[in-house]
Amino acid sequence: MLLYLLIKERVDAITIRKYQTLEIYWLLGPRPLDIGFVVDSSNNVGQQNWNRLTTFAKGVVDSFRPSWPGNHIGFMSYDNTARVHFGFDALRGNRYSPNGIKRLIDNVKYQPGSGRRIDVALNTAYRDLFSRKGGYRPDARQVKWC
């Protein structure tokens, strides 16, 4: 099951985070989640908005408290191409923690590119992130944040 949530760049991230955390748990229940971020890195975003997007993603990480047996996080960006920066199995065991995932997000640098090919991003997400290659877990529910 995929849940698509569209995030506007200029909305208060804390308000969104509180609402969506409750909404997702209400809709999906207590099963572990594989949460994949699909983030626009086109020229139109700019460094300041990129920082906002990654800050928002780290806030979601804090809300969902990833752990090795629990929720997992993956992250990719797109412009005219798509890149998976880390999959759901990027960390293992005790290293799979909110701080570990936030460090991985901090390591993803803004690389502006031309175009906004969401079609390429979604195909790449299905093929390379929400798959065994990306650490997808068949027993977890799949959430894609675009």
Report the CATH number at residue 36: 3.40.50.410
Using a 10 angstrom Cβ sphere, with 0-12 exposed, 13-18 middle and 19 or more buried, the burial of residue 72 is buried
State the residue range of the domain holding 139: 2-145
37-60 burial: b if 16+ Cβ within 10 Å, else e: bbbbbbeebeeeebebbbebbbbb
Q: Quote the number of domains for the chain.
A: 1
Question: Which residue has tokens 């027993």?
Answer: 139
How far apart are the C-alpha atoms of 135 and 32, rounded to whole Å?
Answer: 13
Residue of higher predicted confidence among 6 and 99: 99
* pLDDT for the residue 12: 38
How far apart are the C-alpha atoms of 34 and 1, rounded to whole Å?
Answer: 11
- pTM here is 0.79
pLDDT band at 27 (very low <50, low <70, confident <90, very high): low
Average pLDDT over residues 94-103: 96
